[in-house]
Amino acid sequence: MKILLFDDHTLFVQSFKILLESNFSVQHEVFGCTSIEEVNTCMETQKIDLIFTDYLIPGLDIFHIINQWKKENEFIKIVVLSSINSSNLIARLLLNSADGFLSKSASQDEIDKCINYINNNKKYVCKNLESDVMQYLLLKENNIFSQRELEIIELIKQGKSIKDKAKILNLSENTIITHRRNIMQKADVKFVTELLAKLGDFGL
């Protein structure tokens, strides 16, 4: 299996690559990339079966990137890596065509299990988050927020500044401010602290 690993931190790419290659029962050819340019070059020259990608890549919208990869190759599998164990984030990724989610602290056994699930055309989510993800999927049908607003809410919960949000989502700061204003209006609050306290009412 040819696996592409995409993360903007070189040390993580190197260490995770070692884990992927240390499965002696199955041979994996792993390509580590730290920029979208490297990813594009690799995908042009190699027939990639599975992509492990970080969720937070500065300047890139991971939801857009996943859709783009799927359009280019409908058979490619994509697993998102993150240290953010948020059930609503994971659910949105799965709804957005991702095939799985792994914590960046996943063990060798869990990585192997994830790959086995993906090979059998099953979606994979860390077991400790699986029930929370299912609950969120049920609540999402009644959610009043748009996909973009949900992404911004997730970053608000992380305490990201307007500048950081704009960089992560590849949007202008004015656009972020507009989305935040709409979020506050929909939630009927005036302050971020009020919004954070009320998110549970929306299943977030």
Q: Tens digits of per-residue pLDDT, 5-56?
A: 999 999 999 999 988 887 656 678 899 999 999 999 999 999 999 999 999 8
Helices 87-95, 127-140: crossing angle, 10 deg rounding: 70
Shared domain for 29 and 64, answered yes or no, is: yes
The Cα–Cα gap between 168 and 166 comes to: 6
Domain co-membership, 70 together with 110: yes
- Can you say how many angstroms the Cα of residue 86 is from the centroid of all Cα atoms in its chain? 10
Tell me, yes or no, whether 31 and 117 share the same domain.
yes
Domain of residue 41, residue span? 2-139
Write the DSSP symbol of residue 201.
G
Task: Say what the pTM is.
Answer: 0.65
**Which of 112, 139, 166 lies at the terminal end of a domain, its last residue?**
139
Q: How far from 156 is each of 60, 103, 115, CA to CA, in Å?
A: 18, 21, 32
| Shared domain check, 159 and 129 | no
- The answer to whether 199 and 183 have CB atoms below 8 angstroms apart is no
User: Looking at residue 8, what is its pLDDT?
Assistant: 93
What integer pLDDT is reported at residue 11 of this predicted model?
93
- The confidence score (pLDDT) of residue 39 equals 95
Q: Are residues 52 and 129 in the same domain?
A: yes
Element holding 53 (H helix, E strand): strand 50-54
In a shared domain, residues 128 and 44: yes
Residues 57 and 154 in one domain: no
d(CA 195, CA 189): 6
pLDDT in tens, 67-107: 999 988 889 999 999 887 777 777 778 877 899 898 888 88
